[in-house]
Structure 1
Amino acid sequence: MAKRPVFDFKLSETPRVREKADWLDVARDTRALGAAALENARVLALDHVEPGPWQVRRGFPSEKMAELVASIRAQGVLEPILVRPAAEGRYQIIAGERRYRAAREAGLTTIPALVFDLDDVNARVVSLMENIQRTDLNEVERAEGLLALKQTTGETWEAIAKLLGITRRHVLHLVSLTRLPDPVQGLLREGRLSAKHGRLLAYVKERAAQLVLAELIVELRLNAQQTAEAVKRLGSEPGFTVRPGAAGETIAPQEVRARVERTVERVLEGQAARKLPEAAVPAITAGDIQQLLSGLTEVRRAIAAFPSVSLADDAARRLRNELAALIQAAEALQSRVPMPLPE
């Protein structure tokens, strides 16, 4: 394999921070310069490089890290990391800590890098911009990066959205995830909840209701449409006004859980009823409907045997939903099928 050429990328050619420098200009210059990638890169000793304090990631998943390590062993580091000069001939990472860690684990001793002479504020801005746009970030990390970018620059959400090439609405949707309770954010980080689920949960006022609904979304694998309907129904509950952002608890926790579970149950019951095939209706005779209605009392008795069973019992929940759907179907058929006249 041919030896990688060493490029001497002089600091004088990098965008330097001047007095009252505009962070946006610096960020744009950095991005434009980085477009040339390896052509502008210097090769630095890994022992002279150290992580910076701007990392938005909370962790580096082992499976994805292993894939990157294997790729670097086979092909080397194809995308330079971004660094700035530090004390005593060392360099501080602005963006690319994951590549740096993988290169060390792969046994490399050097790494290609683009060197930028930036102060703390501009280094933080460039780091956040680079990391926020990484596809392998989870949505909570991306949202935290957006908040940090706004705090660092003092810019409006509209300006930040324009810079990143996304809509202001999308930015605000992401930021709403940071207002969710920590356990819910944990589910988002783990990928057990989608960002869309998180955005819908942010519209539930009660923190306790957010927690219970998040648990049920994961447990029952509710899709976004089911979740949206549950959130809408909760908005009609007294004390459950729907609005962006979470507020303090005003209802007893056990009552919150009961209301949320009841709401989700109704959503699933309604969905089950809507899925009944319409084509089967004409084949039902008056005699069939009489038999169905005669068994309806037994069905109701069966349902009545379960009122104290918690929704945490999967078998009980499924049976209650199926029986409720059967009742709805029977009542609908009763109104649509002609009944025989009494003799």
Structure 2
Amino acid sequence: MANKRGLGRGMDALFSDEADKKEAQVVDKVADKKDQDNVVLKIAITSLEANPFQPRKTFDQAALSELADSLKESGLIQPIVVRKHGDKYQIVAGERRFRAARSAELTQVPVIVKSLSDNAMMALSIIENLQREDLNPIEEAQGINAYMKQLTLTQAQAAEKLGKSRAAIANTLRLLNLPAQVQQLIIEGQLSMGHARALLGLDAQSDMLLLADKAIKQQLSVRQIEDIVRHTASSKQKTNAKKPSNSIYIQAIEQQLEDKFSTKISLSKKKLEINFANKDELNRILDLLGVDLN
């Protein structure tokens, strides 16, 4: 009885009706019309190559093992979508099935060959994973960022092509501003998307890393992180307000320099700016400074 239940779960994973319907719809939408005869071929599994544009980097090993066990008994029923690449075939959609089939030591797998450009293949890989919600937030951000660079798209254009709002695209891409260590924590599921957005309220990456570590150790909620970020920002403002101000001193110097040069002067920390409107005014200022260009 235990084996029967295991096979049932494996068969569900094999067919995965709703997910596979979505995958097929995306493939047919992006693929060239001439390839939509959906002829299923059987090829050697060693002829398959991973998708170079696959945004998904992490796979549930327990789910893969369960699917592999089922494949050993029933084989792979749902074909993998591929495109020809030299004497090999690159996986367009179905990498999870490919990995499970390889783990099950299958020698041949069914495939459907589609004709796709690099741009179309990249778009398909991202859209398919977004529809199936297979990507963690960082993978999604990295995939969208790579897609935008490949096609030279603005956030608005990417949002339209991927069927998301511009705000959603912008918020997702902001995750790439987090330190690499924090991004890894999100990939591992130790921090949520909500935690990540709250951490972005801090200015320094070192502060983000420290608070992320504290959030995990103390199991802080998103609301608690938001409160800490607000308190940190408020404390910095108060500290800055209490610092002795040298603005009066700076203003006095600026005023003296403006009187001397008869132009706008800006002084801040290690920078002195002298403004001029045209070449004649520049020459006048250079004369006052004793600069001889002849």
- Identify the TM-score tier after normalising by the shorter chain: 0.5 to 0.7
Q: CA deviation at 1:231?
A: 1.5
* Equivalent residue, structure 2, for 1:115: 113
Q: Which of the numbers 165, 168, 171 marks the counterpart of 2:166?
A: 168
Aligned residue number for residue 234 of structure 1: 232
- For 1:225 and 1:34, the matched residues in 2 are separated by 51
Kept in 1: contact 2:54–2:122 (CA 8 A) = no
Show the 5 A alignment for 1:203-214: 203-214=201-212
Q: Are the structure 2 counterparts of residues 73 and 161 from structure 1 closer, same or farther at C-alpha, using a change threshold of 3 Å?
A: farther
Contact 1:95 1:131 in 2 (8 A): no
Tell me the distance in 1 between the aligned counterparts of 2:103 and 2:148. 34
| Contact 2:215 2:225 survives alignment (8 Å) | yes
Secondary structure of the corresponding residue to residue 121 of structure 2: helix
Structure with more relative contact order (C-alpha pairs < 8 Å, separation 6 or more): 2
The correspondence of residues 118-133 of structure 1 with structure 2, limited to 5 A, is: 118-133=116-131
Residues 1:94 and 2:92 are matched in the alignment = yes
Query: Retained in 2: the 8 A contact 1:132–1:146?
Result: no
Q: 1:136 matched to which residue of 2?
A: 134
Structure 2 counterpart of 1:28, one-letter code: K
Partner AA of 2:69 in structure 1: A
**Aligned counterparts of 2:157 and 2:92: Cα–Cα separation in 1:** 22
Cα shift at 1:32: 9.2
Determine if contact 2:69/2:104 at 8 Å carries over to the other structure.
yes
Match of 1:191 among 189, 192, 197: 189
Letter in 2 for 1:30: A
Cα distance between partner residues in 2 of 1:66 and 1:240: 55
Residues in 1 aligned to 2:103 and 2:80: alpha-carbon distance in whole angstroms: 16
Aligned: 1:57 with 2:56: yes
**Where does residue 30 of structure 1 map in the other structure?**
31
The AA in structure 1 aligned to 2:51 is G
Q: C-alpha deviations, 1:118-167, integer Å up to 9, x for none?
A: 23333333233323444232111111111111111222222322333322
The residue correspondences of 1:214-233 to structure 2 (distance < 5 A) are 214-233=212-231
> In structure 2, do the counterparts of structure 1 residues 148 and 228 end up closer, same or farther at CA, with 3 Å as the change threshold?
same
Q: Secondary structure at the match of 2:236?
A: coil
- The code of the aligned residue for 1:49 comes to L
Q: 1:238 to 1:106 in 2, by over 3 A?
A: same
Structure 1 residue 219: deviation in Å? 1.0
2:46 match: 47
Aligned length: 214
Residue 71 of structure 1: CA displacement? 4.0
Identify if the C-alpha distance between structure 1 residues 134 and 207 changes in structure 2 by more than 3 Å, giving closer, same or farther.
same
Measure, in 2, the Cα distance between the counterparts of 1:35 and 1:187.
41
TM-score by length of 1: 0.55
When normalised by structure 2's length, the TM-score is 0.64
Supply the distance in 1 between the matched residues of 2:89 and 2:127 (Cα, whole angstroms).
19
CA contact (8 A) 2:45 2:107 kept: yes
Identity of aligned residues (%): 34
Question: Once superposed, which parts of structure 1, at least 4 consecutive aligned residues long, lie more than 6 Å away?
Answer: 31-36
- The aligned residue for residue 248 of structure 2 is none
CA offset digits 1:37-76 (Å, max 9, x no partner): xx65333221222223222233434223213323434554
* Contact kept in structure 2, 1:197 and 1:227, CA below 8 Å: yes
Shift of 1:239: 6.7
User: The residue matched to 2:235 in structure 1 has which SS?
Assistant: coil
Gaps of 5+ in 2: 1-25, 240-294
- Cα distance, 1:133–1:147 mapped onto 2, change above 3 Å: farther
TM-aligned CA distance change 1:218 to 1:31, over 3 Å: farther
How far has the Cα of 1:218 moved from its partner?
A: 0.7
The amino acid that maps onto 1:179 is: N
Check whether the contact 1:81–1:113 (CA below 8 A) recurs between aligned residues.
yes
Map of 2:76 onto structure 1: 77
CA contact (8 A) 1:34 1:114 kept: no
Trace 1:193-342 onto structure 2 (pairs within 5 A): 193-238=191-236
Q: Deviations over 1:254-295 (max 9, x none)?
A: xxxxxxxxxxxxxxxxxxxxxxxxxxxxxxxxxxxxxxxxxx
State how far apart, in whole Å, the 2-side matches of 1:122 and 1:43 are: 24
**Hey, which of these two has a bigger chunk of strand by percent?**
2
Letter in 1 for 2:53: W
Measured against aligned partners, the alpha-carbon deviations of 1:175-214 in whole angstroms (never above 9, x if no partner) come to 1111100111111011010011111111211111101110
